[in-house]
Every structure is written in structure tokens, then in C-alpha cells.
């Protein structure tokens, strides 16, 4: 998506990008180019918030939101599937839409959809912690003092990017509640200092014995690397925020969807 301060600027930028990009789309101004990116991020932010809210509602009703999304996805038109999770991550969706809310206020315009979506998505790590506490309580355990292993630190599967990752907030919330927390991520061997966070942690090596030492294993990022059948087999309790264990039948009673 290319805009320019002048038409000549835009055309020169397009010629450059045309040599390396599959498709270059020119728009009339810098503002239109930026607004296009904002629209895409807002679209995803709002739709992810919708399915996150539905996940919480359907969970209370005893309905599997993942089954519902699969069924709705069979409609050949008018529906795009979005999926719930433990919160938003990355450098775009959790941040960019709120540049627009800030700017809109300068024009006296409220952005209620965007702000409500932000509230829902920001709440999701707290929802996951509440579900983890409930699951431990069913086993007559308190979260305080429990050992919890967070699987996946990156904000989405199969990458090494942890910017704004919900896993970070999950770890911090677990620590605040008194849990002893470790993590494993094959793509992130150790954490580094960030703008607002400094976990100072290293990834723990997985083994059957090691998994069995934790009171709960919390799947935050569904990396392809993980053998979920093996994880469920060896863990005492699995809290799954990504439906990563959806195909696993063994030990379903110890899998909690969050």
C-alpha cells in the first residue's frame, strides 16, 4: 500500500516496490495509505474481540466455540473465521487501532467499537487466569504456590516474536497470584528486556518427567513443534487457550479450554 506526499513521490515508490513486491497498490495520499492499514487492523481487532466474547459466553452455556466456528466456516460466503485466544499480540493489532481513537478525539469523534474491542481483548489474560484458578480448585489446589508451565511465549505460532505477547501478561499475572512460573518456547530460548517488561527467564527443556512436575501446563501459543498428545499424556492438568488439544482424546477430563 503506497501513498506519497506528491504524485511523483508515490509513483517513484511504486516503481521501487514493484521490483520486489508481488503487488503494489497506490492510493491518493499518505493519509489514505495509513488509514488503509488502520482499517485492516481495526477489522481484525473487532472481530477477534467478538469471538473472544462469544468464547466466554458459550463456555458459560456449555457450548464449544471452536465447533461453532468450524460449522459457521462451511458457509461459502458472508463469513470469515476469526479465532479466540488468550489476548492480542504483535506490533499491529494491540496498538495501531488506538492511534485512531486518540486522533479521533481531536476531531470530537468517539470510537466506541474500537474501544470496546480493546476492553474485551485486554481482559482475556485475566479470563485465562480465572479459568486456571477454577481448574486447580477442582483438584483442591490453590494457584498460590502452584507450579505452572506456560507453553509458547511468542505472540503467535511458529515465530520468535514476543512483542506485546499475551504470554508475558499471563506470566506476570500468575506471578502476582503467587504461582511459580516457567515457560517453554523452542523459538525463544531466553527473554530480553522490553519496553514495559523484563521477565528474565529462560526456556525450560521439555520431558515427560518435567511436565509431570507442574500442577498446570498452560498452552498460550500453539506452536507446531509441540506434540499435544504427548503433553496431555504426561501433564497433570492442561489449560488450553488455542484449542491445540482439540484432536486429543486421551485424558480429556484434565484438559480445560480457556
Residue range 198-223, pLDDT digits in tens: 889 999 999 999 999 999 999 999 99
pLDDT in tens, 152-174: 999 999 999 999 999 999 999 99
* CATH annotation of 124-257: 3.40.50.720
| H-state helical runs in the chain | 7-18, 30-61, 65-72, 96-106, 112-138, 166-176, 208-212, 228-234
At residue 49, does pLDDT exceed 80? yes
> What does the pLDDT average to over 111-136?
96
> What does the pLDDT average to over 54-83?
96
At residue 255, does pLDDT exceed 80? yes
Rounded-to-integer distance, Cα 18 and Cα 14, Å: 6
> What does the pLDDT average to over 73-79?
95
Q: What share of the chain is helix, strand, coil (3-state, %, to 5)?
A: 45, 10, 45
Confidence of residue 251 (pLDDT cuts 50, 70, 90): low
pLDDT given at position 196: 80
77 vs 248, more confident:
77
pLDDT given at position 26: 95
Cell numbers 470469515 correspond to 80
At residue 250, does pLDDT exceed 70? no
pLDDT given at position 195: 79
Catalytic annotation, pick one of 9, 45, 92, 213: 92
Rounded-to-integer distance, Cα 33 and Cα 119, Å: 27
pLDDT given at position 109: 95
Q: Where are the domains of the chain?
A: 7-113, 124-257
What are the cell numbers at 61?
Answer: 452455556
To the nearest whole number, what is the mean pLDDT of the chain? 94
* CATH annotation of 7-113: 1.10.1040
| 253: helix, strand or coil | helix
pLDDT given at position 192: 87
pLDDT given at position 169: 96
> What does the pLDDT average to over 221-242?
96
Whether this model's pTM surpasses 0.75? yes
- 14 assigned to active site: no
Amino acid at each position: 500500500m503506497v501513498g506519497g506526499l506528491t504524485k511523483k513521490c508515490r509513483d517513484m515508490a511504486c516503481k521501487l516496490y514493484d521490483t520486489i513486491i508481488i503487488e503494489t497498490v497506490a492510493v491518493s495520499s499518505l493519509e489514505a495509505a495509513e488509514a488503509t492499514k488502520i482499517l485492516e487492523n481495526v477489522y481484525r481487532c473487532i472481530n477477534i474481540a467478538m469471538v473472544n466474547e462469544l468464547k466466554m459466553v458459550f463456555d458459560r452455556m456449555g457450548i464449544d466455540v471452536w465447533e461453532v466456528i468450524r460449522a459457521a466456516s462451511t458457509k461459502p460466503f458472508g463469513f470469515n473465521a476469526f479465532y479466540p485466544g488468550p489476548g492480542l499480540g504483535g506490533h499491529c493489532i494491540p496498538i495501531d487501532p488506538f492511534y485512531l481513537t486518540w486522533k479521533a478525539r481531536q476531531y470530537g469523534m468517539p470510537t466506541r467499537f474500537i474501544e470496546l474491542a480493546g476492553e474485551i481483548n485486554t481482559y482475556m489474560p485475566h479470563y485465562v487466569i480465572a479459568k486456571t484458578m477454577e481448574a486447580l480448585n477442582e483438584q483442591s489446589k490453590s494457584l498460590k504456590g502452584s507450579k505452572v508451565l506456560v507453553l509458547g511465549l511468542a505472540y503467535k505460532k511458529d515465530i520468535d516474536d514476543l512483542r506485546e505477547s499475551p504470554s508475558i501478561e499471563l506470566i506476570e499475572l500468575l506471578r502476582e497470584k503467587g504461582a511459580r512460573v516457567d515457560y517453554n518456547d523452542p523459538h525463544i530460548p531466553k527473554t530480553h528486556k522490553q519496553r514495559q517488561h523484563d521477565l528474565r527467564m529462560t526456556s525450560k527443556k521439555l520431558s515427560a518427567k518435567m511436565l509431570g512436575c507442574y500442577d498446570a501446563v498452560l498452552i498460550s501459543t500453539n506452536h507446531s513443534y509441540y506434540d499435544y498428545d504427548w503433553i496431555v499424556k504426561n501433564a497433570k492438568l492442561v489449560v488450553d487457550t488455542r484449542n491445540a488439544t482439540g484432536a486429543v482424546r486421551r485424558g480429556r477430563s484434565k484438559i480445560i479450554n480457556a
